[in-house]
Structure 1
Amino acid sequence: MSMSPNRGLLWCGVAAGPLFLGVSTLAGLLRPEYSLARHPISSLALNGAGGVQVLNFLLTGALLTAFAVGAGRELGRVGRTGPVPWLLGLCGAGLVGAGLFRTDPVSGYPPGTPHELVYTPLGVLHDAASALFFFGLPLACVLYALRSLADRRWVVAGYSVLTAAAFFACFLWASAGFQQNPGLVAVGGLYQRASLLVGFAWIAVLALLLLRSEKTRGAPTPR
């Protein structure tokens, strides 16, 4: 049985996280001078096989954007698409931008570069693009939680709120680590990965809920 076009778009939301985290983790493990716990994922694009991480940003951003289109179509069946798909689309665009504009060195990677972050125009553009993801995703979680509360879907609402809180807290701790906070600098990369794991897991859960709705057709659509 062939898959409907919109189901294919929704499956992109399931695939985005494993692709991004899997590729970036493997790339980091293959570089002895790179620390998964200390360094940001974006630094993998700076030297060596940096094109792999650039491609990882671009492909994951494309998958997330495709999922946003599918989510908008599925949620629109109840007559109100809402802002969540648009925010997910901005998240996807942010990842694409993060791939197009490379970050500045930080925390001593690549080897021989300063530990303190020194901004360049490309680095500023990278951070601006990344902000679309790191601020857009928790906002999408909160708005989806409000939507779920209106429909008395308490578990989904609670999970979405907890995701937003955990995602943003880990993002702030990671940012402090990359700014060389003495207590967090050694684990900045770890907190960033925790943030991304939590966020991409929520995207996958949302995609699976919408896939179930698309399959049943006659049942009320998750809202």
Structure 2
Amino acid sequence: MSTAATSRTTLPAPPDQDRSNRSSLVRFMLGCGAVAGPLFLTTVLLQEANRVGFDPSRQPLSALSLGDLGWIQTTNFIVTGLLAATGALGARRALDVGHARTWGPLLLGIYGLTLVAAAAFVTDPVAGFPTGAGAVAPSWQGQVHNTAALVSGLALDAASIVFARRFLSRGQHAWAAYSIVVVAADLTAAGMAATTGDFRWLLLGGAVTWTWASAVSLTLMRARRQPAAG
């Protein structure tokens, strides 16, 4: 082989470097999942505090996607949904054999994708929001949106149970208890919302589960960093 041909030959990356690159990619994806929940919640709270005519006790957060500034919440659904879905892919690569390896990432992925679906199918006006909106018959788009929101919450509740089983099997009792409390808190908040008609309970339940999902991504990301540091 000539010298010129040899110089054009691309040598494969060393195995250690290849593993390091894959580990960095997984940590990046898990980082996306860790950001999703806090970003979504912060964006919602800022809008609720500043949108004229919006009453968080009478209108669900989905109503923020209506009106002239509705694009903010629509973008929030899309960005955080994609971040959560990316985090789910990272969780699938990060989890070794054992409980939750299949269903955990799958349920986290459903949570992310249903947020994107909530952006694609806009909810109907509700309780006079946007300002001046009258009563309207439920549309099919609004029904799909509501279904996506319901599936998103149920997926996170199911994921909490699946991960609780994994944490118990590994002796991580604090994480297992946290995961079970998350489900109980979300279901309790949903019951309070149905009883009182106050949508702030739904926001509280959502905040608990979104934060839990981000915390799981964060702890998986830290676990991936420890072998590399060693």
The alignment's TM-score, normalised by the length of structure 2, stands at 0.83
- 1:31 paired to 2:51: yes
Match of 2:201 among 185, 191, 194: 191
Task: Give how far 1:78 is off.
Answer: 3.4
**Does structure 1 conserve the Cα–Cα contact (< 8 Å) formed by 2:33 and 2:217?**
yes
Secondary structure, counterpart of 2:112 in structure 1 = helix
Q: Distance in 1 between matches of 2:42 and 2:173?
A: 31
**Does structure 2 conserve the Cα–Cα contact (< 8 Å) formed by 1:15 and 1:63?**
yes
1:146 paired residue number? 165
2:221 paired residue number? 211
Secondary structure, counterpart of 2:119 in structure 1 = helix
Letter in 1 for 2:213: I
**Does structure 2 conserve the Cα–Cα contact (< 8 Å) formed by 1:23 and 1:56?**
yes
1:125 paired residue number? 144
How well do the aligned residues superpose, as a CA RMSD in angstroms? 2.2
Match of 2:93 among 73, 80, 84: 73
Please identify the structure whose Cα radius of gyration is greater.
2
Letter in 2 for 1:195: G
Mapping 1:38-117, distance limit 5 Å: 38-75=58-95, 77-78=96-97, 81-114=101-134
Alpha-carbon displacement from aligned partner over 1:162-216 (angstroms, at most 9, x marks no partner):
0011112213433x2xxxx6xx23x32x112211210111112211210121011
1:15 paired residue number? 35
Structure 1 residues 110 and 71: alpha-carbon distance in aligned structure 2, compared to 1, 3 A threshold:
same
1:159 paired residue number? 178
Alpha-carbon displacement from aligned partner over 1:17-46 (angstroms, at most 9, x marks no partner):
121111122122222211133321100111
2:5 paired residue number? none
Task: Give how far 1:79 is off.
Answer: 6.1
Letter in 2 for 1:130: A
Q: Distance in 1 between matches of 2:64 and 2:218?
A: 30
Letter in 1 for 2:110: L
**Does structure 1 conserve the Cα–Cα contact (< 8 Å) formed by 2:98 and 2:166?**
no
Task: Give how far 1:82 is off.
Answer: 2.6
Task: Give how far 1:114 is off.
Answer: 4.9
Question: What is the aligned-residue identity percentage?
Answer: 33
Q: Distance in 2 between matches of 1:151 and 1:138?
A: 20
Q: Distance in 1 between matches of 2:177 and 2:51?
A: 39
The alignment's TM-score, normalised by the length of structure 1, stands at 0.85
Instruction: Give the gaps of 5 or more residues in structure 1.
Output: none
Structure 1 residues 49 and 162: alpha-carbon distance in aligned structure 2, compared to 1, 3 A threshold:
same
Q: Distance in 2 between matches of 1:201 and 1:105?
A: 28
Task: Give how far 1:217 is off.
Answer: 2.3
Task: Give how far 1:110 is off.
Answer: 2.0
Q: Distance in 2 between matches of 1:209 and 1:131?
A: 26
Task: Give how far 1:149 is off.
Answer: 1.4
Task: Give how far 1:4 is off.
Answer: 1.0
Number of equivalent positions: 208
Letter in 2 for 1:30: N
- 1:137 paired to 2:156: yes
Q: Distance in 1 between matches of 2:123 and 2:191?
A: 18
